[in-house]
Amino acid sequence: MSRMKKITIFTGIGLLSVVVIAIVAVNAFVIQRPVTTTPVIAEAKPYEWNKVKLGGNTLSSDGSEYFIWTKTGESNNWIIFFSGGGVSWDARSAAHPIKIMNFIKGGDTGNYFADIPFYMLTLLGGMMDTDKPDNPFHGWNVVYLPYSTGDFHIGNRAATYSREDGRTFTMRYNGRTNVRSSLDWIYANVAKPDKLLIAGESAGGFGSAFWAPEIASHYRDSEIFQYADSSFLKSDKWPQVMKQEWDSDFTATFGYEPEADIIRAAFRADGRLLPAGTVLLQAYSVYDEILIHFQNKINDYNGPRDQKLIKEWSEEMRQSVAALAATVPNYYYYLTDYGLNAENGTTPHTFSTRETFYQAEQDGVKLVKWLGDAVNQQKRYSVGSEFLGTTAPAQE
């Protein structure tokens, strides 16, 4: 057999293997799709996702369509949930979006979702399973804001970047327009909720904290809660990124200056900008593998992720939480090392839309109970105080 023929056969086998792996990966779960495209809440069937096309100037970062998902329940309580999905902070990071082929090939999966993944709904469990009886948000209504702009839901710029090979591409940091259009739809379709949870995970936790005061100002007569799950990335670059890369007009839009610890700045501001009585909540996995990975990348660290590095990130996060707990009224935290990997010293990332929402436990208190107590039972307390070396606030 000639050398060229062997190369051709092996190449064909390799490509076929990739295709088979991709098919298996996609069909390992049943792809969940929205039932219908409907802009009218009254027409939606309970507990079924519905796709809402917003039109106008809404776009994902690659120019594809942006939309939101809604799910009705059987109460007058609402969740407005900001999705996570990475971040882009410069030309180099923008040139490497998250793609399903990256998962198949292994290695670095990418930095952000450039569009809304077709399989995203399938991944939404946890507190999004509002038909689940043991979910504290059973029967609630949900508006889910996907995230496909790499800008913490706040950007307002179409940037022209060059790839490593010299080719140019357009990165649409369109988060602000997408959120404002989403909120216009929400305000037109959601009357006064009894309870309103403004929440998000990872990058969406930042977005939820940034936009919470504006949303709350529209629903001042509702009982309001703000919850950020796994949202800590500290970098001196944030003020510059938010101004130059994203053109977010941050201070004028949100009423305070961006800082290196941007989530602390947001929660500190929310403590004074949100209506009196608003309950502020944060949850963290104390050695979060994904947040450590991204903070290293943003701060241009290319060395090994050793125990020293993991400890440094964890200490910075815990200092941020301790400062908020000491100064912000109605602020409560949940810290846990649930799922600690003894081999590499890290813990998993996010809880809200995963089964760990029901499984994570610290000091005999499950995360799901902590959040349910805070929102539904008027029992507000912090969990995991041993990670701060302090005594948690007493339960109310």
List, for residues 233-242, the tens digit of each pLDDT value.
999 999 999 9
User: Rounded CA gap, 339 and 394, in Å?
Assistant: 26
- Could you read off the pLDDT of 4-16 as tens digits, one per residue? 343 333 333 333 3
Higher pLDDT, 149 or 101: 149
Question: Residue 220: pLDDT above 50?
Answer: yes
Confidence of residue 173 (pLDDT cuts 50, 70, 90): very high
If we measure between CA atoms, which residue out of 329, 325, 306 comes closest to residue 317?
A: 325
The whole-model pTM stands at 0.90
Size (the chain), residues: 396
pLDDT of 323 > 60? The answer is yes
Among 84, 39, 56, 67, CA closest to 187 = 39
Question: Taking a C-beta distance cutoff of 8 angstroms, is the pair 88, 206 a contact?
Answer: no
State both tokens at 215: 């949303």
Which single residue is written with the structure tokens 């799901």?
A: 368
Instruction: Quick: pLDDT tens for 274-296.
Output: 999 999 999 999 999 999 999 99
Q: How confident is the model at residue 44 (pLDDT cuts 50, 70, 90)?
A: confident
Tens digits of residue pLDDT in 59-114: 999 999 999 999 999 999 999 999 999 999 999 999 999 987 776 777 678 999 99
